[in-house]
Structure 1
Amino acid sequence: MASYTRILVAVALGDDHQARQLLEKALSLTSARNIHVVHVEEHPVTGLGDLTGRNHAMNEAQIRQRVFPALRELSDAYGLNSEHLHIVFGDPAPEIHALAQKLPSDLVVIGSHGSRGLKRLFGTTADDIVHSARMDTLMVYTDG
Structure 2
Amino acid sequence: MNQYQHILVAVDLTEDANTVLTRAKDIAAFNQARLTMVHVIEPLSVAYGSDIPLDLTTLQQEITEQAQHRISELADRIDLKDQDQLVVYGRPEKEIHRLAEEKDVDLIVVGSHGRHGLALILGSTSTSILHGAKCDVLAVRVGSK
RMSD: 2.4
Looking at structure 2, the residues matched to 2 and 120 of structure 1 have their Cα atoms a distance apart, in angstroms, of: 33
Residue 27 of structure 1: which of 13, 21, 25 is its match?
25
Contact 1:33-1:80 within 8 A present in 2 as well: no
2:113 maps to a residue whose letter is H
User: Given the two structures, how large is their TM-score scaled by the length of structure 2?
Assistant: 0.81
Structure 2's unaligned 5+ residue stretches are: none
Match of 1:11 in 2: 11
Match of 2:133 in 1: 133
Looking at structure 2, the residues matched to 61 and 143 of structure 1 have their Cα atoms a distance apart, in angstroms, of: 28
Structure 1 residue 6: Cα displacement: 1.1
Number of residue pairs matched?
137
Q: Kindly provide the CA deviation profile for residues 25-80 of structure 1, in whole angstroms up to 9, marking residues without a partner as x.
A: 1122123871111111110226469xx7xx65x65443321211111010001111
Contact 2:41-2:64 within 8 A present in 1 as well: no
Query: Aligned to 2:139, what secondary structure does the other structure show?
Result: strand
Contact 1:33-1:81 within 8 A present in 2 as well: no
Looking at structure 1, the residues matched to 143 and 72 of structure 2 have their Cα atoms a distance apart, in angstroms, of: 23
Looking at structure 1, the residues matched to 70 and 106 of structure 2 have their Cα atoms a distance apart, in angstroms, of: 25
User: Given the two structures, how large is their TM-score scaled by the length of structure 1?
Assistant: 0.82
Q: Kindly provide the CA deviation profile for residues 57-113 of structure 1, in whole angstroms up to 9, marking residues without a partner as x.
A: x65443321211111010001111122111111111111111111112111001111
The 5-angstrom pairing of residues 1-144 of structure 1 reads: 3-13=3-13, 15-16=14-15, 18-31=16-29, 34-45=34-45, 47=52, 56=57, 60-144=60-144
Query: Aligned to 2:44, what secondary structure does the other structure show?
Result: coil
